Amino acid sequence: MLFDRASPVRCFLAANERRITMLRKSTLLAATAALSLAFPVAACAQEAETVIEPVETTQEVEADVQALTDETISERRAELLAEAIEALNETQKAITALEEENAQEALDALAVATGKLELILARDPGLSLAPVDVSIIERDVLTTPEAVRELRDEIEELTDDGRLQEARRLIAGLASEIVIRTANLPLLTYPDAIKLAAAQLDRGEEELALSTLNTALSTIVVTEATVPLPMLRAEASVDAARELLDDAGGVTALSAEQKEQIAIHLGAARTQLEMAEALGYEAGDARDELDDDIEQLEEQIEAGEESDSLFDSIKRQFNSLRDRLTT
């Protein structure tokens, strides 16, 4: 495991990255439909035979998606333990001191690290992982639910034929998600490793202590939680529809243009739920119930019926799904 001395915490997690894939026509699979996602993205290189149409979007929906992402990350960052971060930093200080043949400075750093770890365990004796850093990876695929289903059929044919490597390359692009990666100190082993290194230093075994500390750093545990982007986009689209309704002062005050905009947002939400299902993120009862409720919401607004309670119910369902998917 590589360790960045300038940033001892960040080394365990890859830098935040954004990966966007466009499904494209090739000799392996049928041509995909033109893009229909209603969100802005960076341009991606494509083969000449692929037809890419401009992506239509509303900035407020994309901003809402980003806000939901930021909220999730902020919640995870709030869980980081300052004492664990300090213990990790002191471990690196000890390693640097040993490499510079300064055993006393290394011992002093390990003493600080031990104290921080003991404080964590005293506060919460049952804690097994102490979070020290969090980062995100964003992966996105730009296509339609229909094209995803076609590609799934192609992948199934490849696997049935035993062409697993060709199938693996296709599967790799089928992701539309934010992956939240959290680095954790393993409290069942890390404190003992620090104490062992200190004892080795007391005996004059500097090289052995250095090896012990490097091994301890390699035991950092990285956990991942995945948040499907189609679910965030569906939620943001419903939020945008409600904002339009609230700005108008109620369903009876909606203009024809506002009704049309709300219908577009709700239609986009249902498309994103379909995309989530096609990509295998949230199939089954939870997705079906949301889709049914959004369809009912469309009907209520079109009929001029008040829909606050249904909006509230849909919001609770999205919150529940997000909580479940990010644990």
pLDDT tens digits, one per residue of 262-301: 999 999 999 999 999 999 886 568 888 899 999 999 999 9
Report the SS3 class of residue 116: helix
Q: What per-residue confidence (pLDDT) applies to 326?
A: 63
Residues 71 and 220 in one domain: yes
- Residue 120 contacts by C-beta under 8 Å, 6 or more apart in sequence? 81, 83, 84, 87, 127, 130, 187
Domain final residue pick, 176, 208, 227: 227
- Average pLDDT value for residue range 233-237: 92
Q: Which helix (H) or strand (E) holds 105?
A: helix 103-123
pLDDT in tens, 84-124: 999 999 999 999 999 999 999 999 999 999 999 999 999 99
DSSP codes, 205-253: -HHHHHHHHHHHHTT-EEEEEEEEHHHHHHHHHHHHHHHHHHHHTSGGG
Residues 266 and 221 in one domain: no
Residues 319 and 170 in one domain: no
207, 208, 242 from 200: Cα distances, Å: 9, 7, 64
37, 79, 82, 305, 310 from 250: Cα distances, Å: 29, 39, 47, 9, 14
Residues 121 and 250 in one domain: no
Token readout for 170 is 């296709």
Q: Crossing angle of helices 285-302/308-325, nearest 10°?
A: 160
Residues 97 and 237 in one domain: no
- Domains contained in the chain, number: 2
Q: What per-residue confidence (pLDDT) applies to 24?
A: 42
Residues 211 and 244 in one domain: no
Kindly report the pTM of this predicted structure: 0.73
Euclidean distance between the first and the last CA atom of the chain, given in angstroms as a whole number: 26
Residues 36 and 146 in one domain: yes
Q: Which amino acid is at 161?
A: D
Tokens 């607004």, residue located: 301
For 242, the domain range is 230-325
Instruction: Tell me whether residue 223 is in a domain.
Output: yes
Task: Give CA–CA dist 89/135, Å, rounded.
Answer: 18
- Average pLDDT value for residue range 312-324: 87
Instruction: Tell me whether residue 109 is in a domain.
Output: yes
pLDDT in tens, 291-311: 999 999 999 998 989 888 999
Instruction: Tell me whether residue 168 is in a domain.
Output: yes
Q: Are 111 and 91 in contact (CB under 8 A)?
A: no
Percent of the chain residues past pLDDT 90, beyond the cut: 59
DSSP 8-state code for residue 179: E
Instruction: Tell me whether residue 175 is in a domain.
Output: yes
pLDDT in tens, 11-59: 444 444 455 554 543 322 332 332 233 333 333 333 333 232 323 445 6
Q: What per-residue confidence (pLDDT) applies to 69?
A: 83
Q: What is the mean pLDDT of the chain?
A: 82
Task: Look at strands 129-142 and 221-228 and give their pairing.
Answer: unpaired
Q: What per-residue confidence (pLDDT) applies to 284?
A: 67
- Average pLDDT value for residue range 164-172: 93
Instruction: Tell me whether residue 117 is in a domain.
Output: yes
Q: What per-residue confidence (pLDDT) applies to 45?
A: 31
Q: Which of 70-74, 90-94, 172-176 is the least confident region?
A: 70-74
- Average pLDDT value for residue range 130-147: 91
Residues 208 and 305 in one domain: no
Q: What per-residue confidence (pLDDT) applies to 18?
A: 53
Q: Which of 66-80, 108-122, 141-155, 195-209 is the least confident region?
A: 66-80
Domain final residue pick, 188, 205, 227: 227
pLDDT in tens, 180-219: 999 999 999 999 999 999 999 999 999 999 999 999 999 9
